[in-house]
Amino acid sequence: MHPELHLPHKSSGRLFDYRKDEEGLSATAAGHIINPVLGR
């Protein structure tokens, strides 16, 4: 990721405003790709 991208502290917010599905997960293909990377 770009070094100037400042991510929120883990579990303190969402980086993108994707819709969430019934399980509370991102409801877009991009979210399914990026969320595992952000969760590290």
What amino acid occupies position 23? E
Contact in structure between 15 and 9 (CB atoms under 8 Å): no
**What is the per-residue pLDDT for 32?**
76
pTM of the model: 0.29
Residue 28 has pLDDT above 70, yes or no: yes
Tell me the mean pLDDT in the region 3-31. 73
Q: Where are the alpha helices (DSSP H) in 1-40?
A: 29-38
**What is the per-residue pLDDT for 13?**
65
Cα gap 15→26, rounded to integer Å? 11
**What is the per-residue pLDDT for 37?**
85
Residue 18 has pLDDT above 80, yes or no: no
